[in-house]
């Protein structure tokens, strides 16, 4: 039974489902559905697919994740960054508005789903930890700027394209003369209303004796009010006759489930983008899932999350949609609205399905400027330049990694930005492990503790060199340790005993072992004894499986205090 619940998390919480939980999930689903209708339409527009495909991306994926996902409140569907990355990848293989573009979108979702599922089955969730969070923040910030700029053309009512900052700005300036005043007024009015609703509407509702929590949830429906108001304005003021771009005919009905046309050349072209979208989406989703789970003392399984998101994307591919992931805003709203289980997402999927059947005829007169305004307001909240200030103060290497990621994304597009972000994250990891913190330590008199001689007043003996390595020893940093020891010996020709304090070393790989063997031999030739102290159990087990300990010129001590005292006594006896 436990193994079933691990692979199908729905079987775990469904056993204890009752009316109380049902009522909470239903209420949350109503609120999230109202929020998701305009959001799904908007992200469909951002991905370059027809509006109804945005709705499709919020039906089957929600149902699939509800079965296989481990987060009780994560809401899966189209999100801004994944939609932008999808549009960038799809524009390379097909023209927007064509059948080939829709097929490519479904194939992209399917590839993303298969990649995520395979990673989950192979239990490779830990690989996401190699992506630096500051770098991801930098990428999302730059993507938010590109997304907002890409929607300005819909606010102005002009034709323009481009994937990079310079291309977008150039296109907007070149076509500025095509400005449609009605479109501009509509877009700016919706933007102003949505920004006001975040604070002003909440204050107004609290003035009507609604609680702060309820008022906050009600304001989440502001995009729907914007949709209704602008549809009414489009009809009354004849927007269609005034050349205001409208969504147009939106077919009513549900997506047909089918396997998209498989073309090996298309798969080969889209696979790199699918992998990048999967990685960024997974990191974003897991971050949200962990945060919400911690608030209720729950936990998520990172490997099973890969499977859950993978199956959700496979479902999106089979329903003719595009890549999806766990969204921050929708998940927070779902959580705050009181959702207890993924049944809230099931009800939300039903709500979106009903909207796809019965509400789509009313979307004909919806101005595209309204959806663009919804996207702009949503993504500008992702822009966070404070990460530059924070990383500058904390770590210059992190700062430059974030800065490079932002600049590359803005100037060369999201695909280059993701590649740069991944490279920067791995580069940071290798850089830090290649130069571990190594300190010469001495005894704090009156205690058995050893501290850095540059930070504390400690007792040292010229003939005894004690070095503490604050990192595991591996191929990337072993030579750095070797150089540090030889440098210290060059600066002090009185050293006769070297103690390597291993309290922070969790692992020693084969390359590092070979360096230690060479160091031991070289010190022996110089008449210097090498000792180890405070070696951890797993490291000791590894060393015992080799011949290193038999050839060690010194001893392995349980404590640094014991090693220091005996080395000091040996020096005194020789003098």
CATH 3.30.450.40 fits 438-574, yes or no: no
pLDDT score for 213: 67
What would the two tokens of residue 509 be?
């790989």
Within its chain, how far is the Cα of 341 from the centroid? 23
* Nearest CA among 488, 514, 501, 490 for reference residue 559: 501
The total of other beta-carbon atoms located within 10 Å of residue 396's CB is 10
Within its chain, how far is the Cα of 268 from the centroid? 25
pLDDT score for 182: 95
* Residue found by looking up tokens 């789903």 in the block: 113
* Nearest CA among 519, 494, 495, 129 for reference residue 287: 129
pLDDT score for 575: 65
* Nearest CA among 347, 225, 277, 349 for reference residue 108: 277
What are the residue boundaries of the structural domains of the chain, listed by start? 2-12+19-429, 438-574
Residue 207 makes CB contacts below 8 A (sequence gap 6+) with: none
pLDDT score for 496: 94
* Nearest CA among 529, 522, 528, 555 for reference residue 540: 555
The Cα–Cα gap between 19 and 28 comes to 14
Packing angle, helices 99-121 and 80-90, rounded to 10: 120
Angle, CA 47 vertex, CA 264 and CA 241 arms, to 5°:
130
pLDDT score for 3: 60
Three-state secondary structure along 129-194?
HHCCHHHHHHHHHHHHHHHHHHHHHHHHCCCCCCCCHHHHHHHHHHCHHHCCHHHHHHHHHHHHHH
Tens of pLDDT along the chain (575 residues)?
456 666 788 888 888 888 889 999 998 899 899 888 999 999 998 999 999 999 999 999 999 999 999 999 999 999 998 999 999 999 999 999 899 999 999 999 999 999 999 999 999 887 777 677 888 888 889 999 999 999 999 999 998 888 899 999 999 999 988 999 999 999 999 999 988 887 777 677 777 777 776 777 677 778 888 999 999 999 999 999 999 999 988 899 999 899 988 889 999 999 999 999 998 899 888 888 888 888 888 888 989 999 999 999 999 999 999 999 998 888 988 888 889 999 999 999 999 999 999 988 889 999 999 999 999 988 888 888 998 999 999 988 889 888 999 999 999 988 788 788 878 878 887 887 888 899 999 999 999 999 999 999 999 999 999 999 999 999 888 999 999 999 999 999 999 999 999 999 999 999 999 999 999 999 999 999 999 999 999 999 999 999 899 999 999 999 999 999 999 999 888 76
pLDDT score for 292: 87
The DSSP 8-state label assigned to residue 360 in this structure reads G
Q: Torsion angle of alpha carbons 489, 492, 496, 501, nearest 10°?
A: -60
pTM for this structure? Answer: 0.81
464-469 and 497-501 strand pairing? parallel
What would the two tokens of residue 572 be?
């005194």
The Cα–Cα gap between 185 and 328 comes to 29
Q: Torsion angle of alpha carbons 368, 326, 96, 233, nearest 10°?
A: -10
pLDDT score for 5: 63
* Residue found by looking up tokens 């994560």 in the block: 74
pLDDT score for 433: 81
- CB–CB of 411/165 below 8 Å? yes
Q: Taking the alpha carbons of 503, 505, 511, 513 in that order, is the dihedral positive or negative?
A: positive
């Amino acid at each position: 039974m436990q193994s079933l619940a691990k692979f199908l998390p729905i079987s775990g919480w469904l056993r204890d489902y009752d009316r109380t939980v049902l009522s909470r999930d239903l209420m949350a689903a109503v609120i999230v559905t109202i929020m998701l209708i305009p959001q799904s339409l908007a992200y469909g527009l951002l991905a370059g697919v027809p509006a109804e495909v945005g709705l499709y991306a919020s039906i089957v994926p929600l149902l699939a994740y509800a079965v296989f996902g481990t987060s009780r409140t994560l809401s899966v569907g189209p999100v801004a960054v994944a939609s932008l990355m999808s549009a960038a990848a799809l524009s390379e293989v097909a023209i927007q508005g064509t059948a080939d573009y829709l097929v490519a979108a479904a194939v992209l979702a399917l590839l993303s789903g298969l990649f995520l599922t395979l990673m989950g089955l192979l239990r490779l969730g830990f690989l996401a930890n190699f992506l630096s969070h500051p770098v991801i923040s930098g990428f999302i910030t730059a993507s938010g700027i590109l997304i907002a700029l890409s929607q300005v053309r819909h606010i102005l009512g002009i034709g323009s394209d481009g994937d990079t900052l310079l291309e977008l700005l150039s296109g907007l300036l070149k076509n500025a003369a095509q400005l449609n005043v009605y479109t501009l007024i509509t877009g700016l009015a919706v933007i102003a209303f949505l920004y006001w609703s975040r604070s002003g509407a909440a204050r107004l509702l609290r003035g009507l004796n609604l609680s702060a929590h309820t008022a906050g949830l009600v304001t989440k429906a502001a995009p729907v009010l914007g949709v209704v108001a602008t549809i009414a304005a489009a009809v009354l003021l004849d927007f269609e006759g005034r050349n205001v771009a409208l969504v147009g005919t939106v077919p009513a009905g549900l997506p047909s489930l089918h396997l998209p046309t498989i073309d090996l050349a298309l798969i080969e072209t889209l696979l790199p983008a699918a992998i990048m979208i999967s990685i960024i989406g997974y990191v974003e989703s897991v971050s949200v899932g962990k945060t919400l789970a911690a608030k209720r003392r729950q936990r998520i399984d990172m490997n099973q999350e890969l499977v859950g998101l993978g199956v959700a994307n496979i479902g999106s591919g089979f329903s003719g949609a595009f890549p999806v992931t766990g969204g921050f805003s929708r998940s927070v709203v779902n959580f705050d609205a009181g959702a207890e289980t993924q049944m809230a997402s099931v009800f939300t999927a039903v709500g979106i399905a009903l909207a796809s059947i019965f509400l789509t005829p009313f979307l004909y007169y919806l101005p595209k400027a309204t959806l663009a305004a919804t996207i702009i307001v949503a993504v500008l909240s992702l822009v966070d330049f404070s990460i530059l200030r924070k990383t500058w103060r904390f770590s210059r290497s992190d700062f430059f990694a974030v800065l490079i990621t932002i600049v590359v994304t803005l100037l060369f597009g999201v695909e280059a930005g993701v590649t740069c972000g991944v490279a920067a994250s791995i580069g940071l990891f290798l850089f830090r492990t290649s130069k571990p913190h190594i300190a010469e330590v001495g005894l704090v008199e009156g205690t058995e503790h050893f501290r850095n001689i540059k930070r504390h007043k400690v007792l040292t003996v010229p003939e005894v060199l004690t070095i503490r390595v604050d990192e595991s020893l591996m191929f990337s940093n072993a030579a750095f340790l070797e150089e540090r020891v030889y440098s210290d010996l060059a600066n002090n020709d009185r050293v006769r005993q070297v103690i390597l304090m291993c309290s922070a070393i969790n692992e020693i790989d084969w390359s590092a072992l070979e360096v230690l063997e060479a160091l031991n031999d070289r010190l022996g030739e110089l008449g210097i004894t090498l000792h180890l102290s405070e070696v951890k159990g797993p490291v000791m087990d590894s060393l015992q499986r080799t011949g290193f300990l038999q050839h060690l010129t010194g001893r392995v001590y349980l404590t640094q205090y014991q090693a220091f005292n005996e080395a000091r006594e040996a020096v005194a006896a020789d003098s």
